[in-house]
Chains A and B, each alone.
Chain A
Amino acid sequence: MQLSVKQIRKQYAEVLAVDDVSFEVKSGEIFALLGPNGAGKSSTIRMLISLTYPDTGVISFTNIEGQKITKLVSGDFGYLPEERGLYQESNIQDTLVYMGQLKGMTKADALEQANMWLTSFDLAERQKDQLKTLSKGNQQKVQLISAIIHRPKIVFLDEPFSGLDPVNQEKVISFLQLLRQQGTTIILSAHQMSLVEKLADRFMLMNKGKATLYGSIKDIRQAAQLGTNLTVTFSDPVSSGSFLLTEQIMQVISLDTHTIQFTLAPSCHVPQLLQSMLTEHQIESLQTEQPSLHDIYIDSVKGAA
């Protein structure tokens, strides 16, 4: 299932929630919407699943057969809303079966899927318990199961990592990777940059309703124009003053008497730079570090502020 969004816009009273946003999601990929609170991520997801409708712009899906669809039907997609909630007083298995049936499954199929997922999330023994008796992390797992119990072709997850401890975050990552292996297209929104960076195939950074950066991590790094960090440890003591700022070297910071950190421009040719350094100094070790998504995200938000 592919998704194409063209110039969508959504205004609530005085607030422009989404402003001229366009992007595409390929079949079977994990696509992440990133941005601070109020950036327009949840509003975008709500429009994608027709909970609300864009004031202008076009949203269309292309199914495996190549047919264009303007609105998804309930059996085709799964949704984990930002505001979590299921029936607290009802038993977990009944709730999952009910949600599955509402999404078009037979009772037997829903029961089988519910049991399979509960087992894989170590919740099989709790299937007859009320949801409210589970910890927050386990409730979140049940929520996830409820979103994908009907084997949807495309899944929308609004902040799937919020409220989870690191162990459960890793479990959710494995779960999403498993879904991707099964060919499910996943669109998620998140704040946890480090988690999303290793999980998603492509990203869109949003701020104040607008898309600020969009593409793969490589595209985004290139577009963000943030330099790579090169940390060099020299055999002899050196000072940062011995290196001049050039078009290629954007920043020089002395970390200790022997170690200097250079922030290099994206256009910098590193071997050439190192060669020129070696003419004057002996290098003991060196390390390069690409700007993380977190750095790009912070820079993008700051830049827009």
Chain B
Amino acid sequence: MDKVLLVARWEFMRNFKWKQELIGYFLMLLIYAAIFAVQMWSQSSTQKTVNLAVIGQLQTELNSKFVPSSLDTSVEEQQLFEKMAELSLDGVLKVEQSDEFTLYIAQQSVWQQELEQALIADQKDILLRAMDISPEQLKKLQNPISLTFVNQAEEVVGSSVKVLGLLAAILSAMAVFTSFGLSLTSVTQEKQHRITEQLLTCISHQQWVDGKALGLCLSSIKSLLTTCFMMAIVFTGIAVFSDGGGESMHVSATVVIQILIFCVLGVLFWNYVFVGFAATIDDPNHSGKTGLMLLPMLPVMLVFIVMGEPNGQVAKVLSLVPLTAISFMPMRIASMSVPVWQVGLSLVFLIAGVYYVRLFATRVFRAHITLFGKEPDWADIWRSMLKSNP
């Protein structure tokens, strides 16, 4: 066990480059802050008034943002366009008919959509008056019923359940893909740098696989937690600086713990798969097997498809299957109150999955980690999975 922990620590520390990570997170925060600042600046610097030349007769008055100067048809259009080019006019609105307009502009800006909306609203008013419908009647027509959604899962899970479900799925997927990158690099580098024989004189294949899977799992979970922390900082920042617009997110501790357990076990499961298969690859840039390492894409893609129905048949079944449990169960736990027996059964299946995947991964690893040159074909890998003795 000591050697497993030694290998796990080595793998974790090898990927834990705190200086680079701090710089990376600092840059990420800086980028978020810059985006937020530019957004605020853009909103505050939007043009306050628009000088508009109107050719023809508008039937209603535009809102105060638009300062129209009505002109009769004797004014030469060409003169107006010249003024517009000199930027002393923002645009020329030509009234073709009572409900048909042409807007000439020198440059694109946000106010043009606003003008369109204002003209549409004015025209609606005119039409409503002509049809003798009051604004209240119109409102009733547009919203004939009132339906209030009360999600009782919020009492168990917390508020913002949809966001949390999505977040849980994205983060668990992120942890699996981090593991994919780390394990592929870690194992193939050791093969390429010919460290394998030296290590095998010190540790058994099982200790090596266990240590590696555990260390890389910890690296992925660390990345996941750090990202959560960074996101919390960003969300808090947005909430503070956006006049209380940010919604506070309440999540129960039980939910967080359950999600974390499934994440850790799921990442461990996938790490064993990756470590085993990576041993069959000499050079990840030229291997035909790297594609298989994208298998975890499947649960991630599927979870986005069924996210709207966390209690549907598909979500229920896939949250019990160890291959897909890492994405489906955290999504379900975050979105609804999942029956305890389903959580328990999924956990049992996942633990059993980890046990068997560890067994097969070690067999594949043992058979191929010291072989260089010709990569094994699928039949070789299958045979090595079934071979219990060296």
Contacts and interface: CB of A to CB of B under 8 A. Distances in A.
A85 B189 CA distance: 10
Contact of B198 (A88, A90, A101, A146): A146
A90 B390 CA distance: 31
Interface stretch (A54-62, A76-84, A191-199, A268-276): A76-84
Contacts of B390: 53
A81 B201 CA distance: 10
B195 A85 contact: yes
B286 interface: no
B201 A51 contact: yes
A49 B194 contact: no
B6 A101 contact: yes
B195 A87 contact: yes
Q: Looking at A51, A83, A88, which has the most chain B CB atoms within 10 Å of its CB?
A: A83
A158 to B, nearest CB: 9
Contact of A102 (B190, B194, B203): B203
Interface in A39-77: 46, 49, 51, 53, 74, 77
A74 B199 CA distance: 10
Contact of B194 (A46, A74, A79, A83): A83
A98 B190 CA distance: 15
Interface residues of A, number: 23
Contacts of A98: 6, 10
B198 A81 contact: yes
Q: Looking at B14, B195, B198, which has the most chain A CB atoms within 10 Å of its CB?
A: B198
A9 to B, nearest CB: 18
A53 B10 CA distance: 29
Given A81-B197, A85-B194, A103 B202 contact: yes
Interface in A75-130: 77, 79, 81, 83-90, 98-99, 101-103
A79 B197 contact: yes
A187 to B, nearest CB: 14
B140 interface: no
B193 interface: yes
Interface string B261-281: 000000000000000000000
Contact of B3 (A49, A53, A88, A102): A102
Nearest to B196: A85
A51 B6 contact: no
Interface string B189-231: 1101111011111110000000000000000000000000000
B44 to A, nearest CB: 48
Given A51-B370, A74-B202, A90-B14, A83 B6 contact: no
Contacts of B193: 85-88
Contacts of B370: 51
B111 to A, nearest CB: 56
Interface residues of B, number: 20
B202 A87 contact: no
Nearest to A72: B201
A83 B194 CA distance: 6
Nearest to B17: A89
Nearest to B13: A94
B5 to A, nearest CB: 10
Nearest to B199: A102
A83 B192 CA distance: 10
B6 A99 contact: no
Q: Looking at A74, A87, A90, A102, which has the most chain B CB atoms within 10 Å of its CB?
A: A102
A99 B200 contact: no
A237 B7 CA distance: 75
Interface in B286-340: none
Contacts of B195: 85-87
Contacts of A86: 193, 195, 198
B20 to A, nearest CB: 12
A147 B14 CA distance: 21
A6 B115 CA distance: 97
Contact of B203 (A74, A79, A89): A74
Contacts of B14: 87, 89-90
A49 B199 CA distance: 12
Contact of A83 (B189, B197, B203): B197
Nearest to A158: B197
Nearest to B203: A102
B256 to A, nearest CB: 34
Q: Looking at B189, B190, B195, which has the most chain A CB atoms within 10 Å of its CB?
A: B195
A88 B199 CA distance: 15
B31 to A, nearest CB: 27
Contacts of A146: 198
Contact of A99 (B194, B197, B202): B202
B194 A84 contact: yes
Contacts of B198: 79, 81, 85-86, 99, 146-147
A16 B152 CA distance: 73
A77 B202 CA distance: 9
A79 B201 contact: yes
A88 B188 CA distance: 13
A152 to B, nearest CB: 10
Contacts of A83: 194, 197
A90 B199 CA distance: 15
Given A79-B201, A102-B3, 8 more contacts: A46-B197, A74-B202, A85-B192, A86-B198, A88-B189, A102-B7, A102-B199, A146-B198
24 contacts: A46-B197, A49-B201, A51-B197, A51-B200, A53-B390, A74-B202, A79-B201, A81-B197, A83-B197, A85-B190, A85-B193, A85-B194, A85-B195, A86-B195, A86-B198, A87-B14, A87-B193, A88-B189, A88-B193, A89-B14, A99-B198, A99-B202, A102-B7, A102-B203
The 5 closest A-B pairs by CB, nearest first: A85-B194, A83-B194, A102-B202, A85-B193, A81-B197
Interface of A: 46, 49, 51, 53, 74, 77, 79, 81, 83-90, 98-99, 101-103, 146-147
